[in-house]
């Protein structure tokens, strides 16, 4: 059958096939991959085939939807296996998660024993491990210096190759971060809807940081999370959110136990067509929960409950679905009922502090829900916020104005339409859940909402919604909104003036977009911006900005005056220092922008 989607390809396969190309063919790889991606793909069982011409067929053998070896990519042309077609195919296909990181049917339980004395020892890196980390750091620096436009298929393959070598030595965390950089680079180069420049910059920073300042335990972090037995649990559904990325789609349901501890139940699978990711996420919400004998969908679980025996859970809160787990459907709880209501009882400053602290923890080690805020707000309507030209939904929380944003910017998800509907009802009190968006003024990316307890206009949601709406999966209708709208709007929100910190942030993002050359030759402008930073009391920012521009300009030239710098480590180090400083200052400014009183 004809299928426009490509199977996923393992990172080591991409690296092996691309590295086998001659230098002449590598220069043509990006263009060839773009052309091949537009050709129709025919799937027959585990084989995906593309007709190159009347006599040549390219076949990708992908059992389970993933190409695991280079021999599984076969081409009928005369130049195979060193042909451009094979390399173009693995470049155009989405990147697969490593085999040891995929979720199996049976969860792995902890088997490691703590040495005598109760203290875990940490062995130093072996020479081979240290060399692998250093090599990965240098390739990461080259990738940053190339920028989005310069980090094409060949540079991505080199990063994947060094990452695979690190993974073979058990250095799983930096290898995973390298794969994240490649995935986000591909999303940026393809202008995919879920691409955010801040996410790509964060991926570069985390990879360089992990390979520059690290401990052996950090780089040897486990390939996948371990499930631990936690006994019996009584769980209450909170909300469901769609999961849409360049390579995966599905749904995650958030639940809370009787002690107020959050956990997740997920159904996320790889996909090969970003245009269908939102539809796949909606379909996952309607699929049955794979947990014991429970007979309810993920959408139902977001409003119901579960009684679980033999439960297993990772440190990050993911619930396991092993053969020993038993689960049955139980009654849920409203957001104004215990134990759910206690999530909103935590003071706002304490919630913000917790969420900012969670941002310093690697995502796979972060406690479930530590980056979520549970707030009672009152809608103010659309308004402008610093740093944005487009109107945003504003709300009042504990006496301060908060900008409410879509949790994801994917155009086929319901977030944007729902926020636009809420913006039409100034004065509407809401109880909301969202992720803290770090900024110099309060910002929250909304995930779910419900009518807030107390007087005032209320949402009239369908009975099956149980007084809450998953803003990414369900759409508000006109009949759900209060019929009576206030004739006078609340006063416009006021935001305090902010320091010119963008003078440092902007060049760092320009380096991610345009590479090292984007900052070279701008010494005069950098000096002006550095003076503005010093006059605003940001002397350290001025010093780091000057250092980044100086490192970008410090390049070797040949006898004809052409740049031929091959070592970008000094530039990447200067960029990393500025990026880490920017991260710390942005966190401090975000904490100071939120209300300081009790919720």
Q: What are phi and psi of 483, to 5 degrees?
A: -70, -30
- For the chain, helix, strand, coil in percent to 5 are 40, 20, 40
Distance between CA atoms of 444 and 504, rounded to whole angstroms? 24
Q: Are residues 306 and 243 in the same domain?
A: yes
**Are 465 and 582 within one domain?**
no
Q: Confirm if 254 and 239 have CB atoms less than 8 A apart.
A: yes
Position 32 pLDDT exceeds 60: yes
351 near 590, Cβ under 8 Å? no
What is the pLDDT confidence band of residue 112, given thresholds at 50, 70 and 90?
very low
Domain finish residue from 219, 250, 284: 219
Q: pLDDT (tens digit, 9 = 90+) per residue, 118-156?
A: 444 568 889 999 999 999 999 999 999 999 999 999 999
pLDDT in tens, 466-519: 999 999 999 999 999 988 766 555 555 566 677 888 899 999 999 999 999 999
Q: What is the pLDDT of residue 248?
A: 82
Same domain, 351 and 397: yes
- Is position 292 within any domain? yes
Domain that holds residue 540: 502-593
Instruction: Indicate the pLDDT class of residue 117, thresholds 50, 70 and 90.
Output: very low
Q: What's the burial of 217, exposed, middle or buried (CB within 10 Å: 0-12/13-18/19+)? A: exposed
pLDDT at residue 385 greater than cutoff 80 = no
* Main-chain phi, psi angles of 210, to 5 degrees: -65, -30
Report pLDDT digits (tens) over 261-309: 999 999 998 776 777 888 999 999 999 998 888 889 999 999 999 999 9
Tell me how many degrees the CA angle 261-266-270 measures, rounded to the nearest 5: 150
215, 209, 133, 214: which is closest to 576 by C-alpha?
209
What are the structure tokens assigned to 562, written together? Answer: 């052409």
Whole-angstrom Cα distance, residue 285 to residue 272? 19
In-domain check, residue 118 = no
Q: Which range in 41-45, 159-163, 319-323 is most confidently predicted, on average pLDDT? A: 159-163
* Residue corresponding to tokens 């649990």: 233
Which pLDDT value is given to residue 496? 67
- Whether residue 314 is contained in a domain is answered as yes
Q: Residue 487's pLDDT is what? A: 56
Q: Is the pLDDT at 235 greater than 90, yes or no?
A: yes
Whether 576 maps to a domain, the answer reads yes
Does residue 108 register a pLDDT over 60?
no
Q: DSSP string covering 388-413, please? A: -SS-EEEEEETTEEEEEEES---TTS
Taking the C-alpha atoms of residue 194 and residue 245, their distance in angstroms, rounded to an integer, is 7
3-state secondary structure of 313: strand
- 322/292 Cα distance (integer angstroms): 8
> If DSSP states are collapsed to H, E and C, what string results for 80-96?
CCCCHHHHHHHHHCCEC
Pairing type for strands 57-61 and 66-67 reads: unpaired
Distances in Å between the Cα of 213 and the Cα atoms of 122, 135, 165, 573, 580 are: 16, 14, 20, 11, 12
For residue 156, the number of C-alpha atoms closer than 13 Å in the C-beta half-sphere is 31
Whether the pLDDT of residue 561 is over 90: the answer is no
pTM above 0.85, yes or no: no
Is pLDDT above 50 for 599? Answer: no
pLDDT of 104 higher than 70: no
Residue 159 has pLDDT above 50, yes or no: yes
Q: Average of pLDDT values for 413-438?
A: 93
Mean pLDDT of 530-543: 94
Q: What is the sign of the dihedral through the CA atoms of 112, 117, 120 and 126?
A: negative
Q: Are residues 371 and 463 in the same domain?
A: yes
Beta strands in 452-560 (DSSP E): 469-470
Mean pLDDT of 244-261: 90
State whether 165 and 266 are in the same domain: no
Assigned domain for 402 exists: yes
- The two tokens of residue 80 are 């195979």
Asked if pLDDT for residue 398 goes beyond 80, the answer is yes
Assess if residue 106 is contained within a domain: no
- 57-61 β-sheet, strand order: 42-44, 47-51, 57-61, 73-75
| Neighbouring C-beta atoms of residue 541, cutoff 10 Å | 25
**Do residues 400 and 357 share a domain?**
yes
Residues 250 and 357 in one domain: no
Give the pLDDT confidence score for residue 233 in this predicted structure. Answer: 94
Whether the bond into 472 is cis, omega within 30 of 0 = no
CATH number of the domain within which 407 lies:
2.40.50
Contacts of 488 (CB under 8 A, 6+ apart): none
Cα distance between residue 553 and residue 530, in whole Å: 16
Task: Round to whole Å and give the CA distance between 380 and 493.
Answer: 8
pLDDT for 441 equals 87
Distance of alpha carbon 286 from alpha carbon 251, whole angstroms? 9
| Average pLDDT for 196-208 | 93
**Is pLDDT at 586 greater than 50 in this prediction?**
yes
Tell me the H-state helices in 27-68: 29-37
State residue 119's pLDDT score. 42
Distance CA 9, CA 67 (A): 5
Token pair, residue 120, equals: 């875990």
What is the share, in percent, of the chain residues with pLDDT greater than 90?
61
What pLDDT score does 73 carry? Answer: 95
Q: Which of 42, 77, 96 is the last residue of a domain?
A: 96
Q: What mean pLDDT do residues 8-25 have?
A: 92
Residues 318 and 365 both lie in one domain: no
Confidence band for 109, pLDDT divided at 50, 70 and 90: very low
Shared domain check, 421 and 394: yes
How many angstroms separate the CA atoms of 161 and 167, rounded? 10
Q: Which two tokens stand for residue 200?
A: 């790509």
Max CA distance (Å), the chain:
77
- Is 215 found in the same domain as 134? yes
- Please count the structural domains in the chain: 5
307 and 429 belong to one structural domain: no
Lookup: tokens for 475: 């759409």
* Predicted local distance difference test score (pLDDT) of residue 335: 95
Query: Cα dihedral sign for 448, 454, 457, 461?
Result: positive
Cis geometry, peptide bond prior to residue 81 (ω within 30 degrees of 0)? yes
pLDDT digits (tens, 9 = 90+) for 345-366: 999 999 999 999 998 887 777 8
Integer Cα distance of 476 and 494 in angstroms: 28
Instruction: Give me 284's structure tokens.
Output: 């996952």
Residues 360 and 472 in one domain: yes
Residue 585 maps to a domain: yes
Band of residue 560 on the pLDDT scale cut at 50, 70, 90: low
Q: Is residue 1 part of a domain?
A: no
| Gap between the Cα atoms of 568 and 142, Å rounded | 6
Q: Which of 45, 49, 44, 69 is nearest to 60 (CA)?
A: 49
Domain final position from 195, 219, 243: 219
Average pLDDT value over all residues in the chain: 87
């Amino acid at each position: 059958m004809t299928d426009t989607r490509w199977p996923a390809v393992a990172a080591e396969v991409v690296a092996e096939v691309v590295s086998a190309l001659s230098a002449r063919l590598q220069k043509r790889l990006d263009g060839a991959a773009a052309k091949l991606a537009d050709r129709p793909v025919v799937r027959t069982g585990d084989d995906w085939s593309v007709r190159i011409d009347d006599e040549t067929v390219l076949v990708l053998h992908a059992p389970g939807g993933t190409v695991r070896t280079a021999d599984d990519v076969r081409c009928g042309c005369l130049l195979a296996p060193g042909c451009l077609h094979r390399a173009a195919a693995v470049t155009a296909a989405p990147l697969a998660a490593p085999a040891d990181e995929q979720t199996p049917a049976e969860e792995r339980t902890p088997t490691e024993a703590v040495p005598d004395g109760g203290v875990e020892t940490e062995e130093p890196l072996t020479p081979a491990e240290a060399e692998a980390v250093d090599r990965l750091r240098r390739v990461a620096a080259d990738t940053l210096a190339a920028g989005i436009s310069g980090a094409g298929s060949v540079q991505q393959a080199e990063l994947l190759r060094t990452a695979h070598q690190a993974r073979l030595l058990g250095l799983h965390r930096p290898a995973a971060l390298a794969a994240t950089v490649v995935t986000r680079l591909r999303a940026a180069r393809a202008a995919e809807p879920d691409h955010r420049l801040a996410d790509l910059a964060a991926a570069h920073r985390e990879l360089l940081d992990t390979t520059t300042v690290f401990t052996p335990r950090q780089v040897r972090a486990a390939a996948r999370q371990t499930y631990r037995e936690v006994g019996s649990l009584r769980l209450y559904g909170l909300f469901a959110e769609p999961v849409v990325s360049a390579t995966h789609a599905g749904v995650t349901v958030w639940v809370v136990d009787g002690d107020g501890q959050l956990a997740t139940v997920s159904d996320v699978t790889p996909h090969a067509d970003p245009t269908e990711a939102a539809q796949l996420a909606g379909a996952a919400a309607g699929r049955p929960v794979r947990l014991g004998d429970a007979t309810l969908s993920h959408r139902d679980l977001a409003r119901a409950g579960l009684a679980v025996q033999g439960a297993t859970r990772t440190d990050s809160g993911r619930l396991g679905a092993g053969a020993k787990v038993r689960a049955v459907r139980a009654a849920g709880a409203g957001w104004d009922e215990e134990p759910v209501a206690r999530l909103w009882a935590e003071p706002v400053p304490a919630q913000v502090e917790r969420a900012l602290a969670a941002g310093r923890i690697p995502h796979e080690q972060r406690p479930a829900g530590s980056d979520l805020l549970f707030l009672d707000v009152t809608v103010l309507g659309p308004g402008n916020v610093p740093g944005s030209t487009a109107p945003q939904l504003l709300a009042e929380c504990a006496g301060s104005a908060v900008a409410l944003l879509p949790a994801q910017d994917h155009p086929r998800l319901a977030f944007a339409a729902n926020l636009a509907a809420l913006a039409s009802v100034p004065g509407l009190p809401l109880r909301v859940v969202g992720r803290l968006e770090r900024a110099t003024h309060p910002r929250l990316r909304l995930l779910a909402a419900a009518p807030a307890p107390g007087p005032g206009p209320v949402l009239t949601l369908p009975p099956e919604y149980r007084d809450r709406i998953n803003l990414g999966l369900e759409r508000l209708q006109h009949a759900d909104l209060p019929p009576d709208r206030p004739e006078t709007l609340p006063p416009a929100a006021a935001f305090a003036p902010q320091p010119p910190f963008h003078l440092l942030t902007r060049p760092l993002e320009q380096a991610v977009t345009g590479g090292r050359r984007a900052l070279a030759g701008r010494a005069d402008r950098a000096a002006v911006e550095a003076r503005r930073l010093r006059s605003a009391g940001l002397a350290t920012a001025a010093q780091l900005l000057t250092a980044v521009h100086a490192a970008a300009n410090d390049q070797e030239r040949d006898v004809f005056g052409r740049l031929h710098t091959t070592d970008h480590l000094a530039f990447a180090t200067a960029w990393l220092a500025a990026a880490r400083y920017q991260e710390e200052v942005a966190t401090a400014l975000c904490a100071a922008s939120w209300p300081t009183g009790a919720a």
